[in-house]
Amino acid sequence: MTMESLLLSVRFACRIMDDALDGEIMELINAGFHDLEISGVADENGDPYTAETADQLVTTAIKTYVKLNLGDLISDTNYWAKLKSSYDEQKAQLKMRTHSSSSYTEDASDESDS
């Protein structure tokens, strides 16, 4: 997926039909990728995800992150709390996947060293 197609996908998920907020959305997409990176989420090579390398689970987390942080679109605090909980759960699952795949890779290389 390109960054442009991710932007369109996020905009659609946020129910935004024009490009007036594209600058803010792009900043939040980048912040979402950075948040995943500093949380320890990485691809199978240990690299941070980008729009080009993100799978469906990562792009779903990015969409949730943007919805959660997109200013005044959420006036209902219960809805905000649900989005926050959803994003935290998605991030936790991605972290588990990262750590289980990296430990699997480390275990496999340890076995081949013997």
pLDDT on residue 29: 98
Domain count, the chain: 1
pLDDT tens, the chain, 114 aa long: 999 999 999 999 999 999 999 999 999 999 999 999 999 999 999 999 999 999 999 999 999 999 999 976 667 788 889 999 999 999 999 999 988 865 544 444 454 454
To 10 degrees, the CA torsion angle through 63, 57, 40, 62? -10
For residue 11, CA distances in Å to 2, 17, 29, 35, 58 come to 14, 7, 11, 19, 16
Query: What domain range includes position 89?
Result: 3-113
SS3 of residue 44 by DSSP? coil
pLDDT on residue 107: 46
Token pair for 19:
């490009």
Give the helix, strand, coil percentages of the chain, each rounded to 5: 70, 0, 30
Contact between 53 and 36 (Cβ < 8 Å): no
Round the CA-based radius of gyration of the chain to a whole number and report it. 16
pLDDT on residue 72: 67
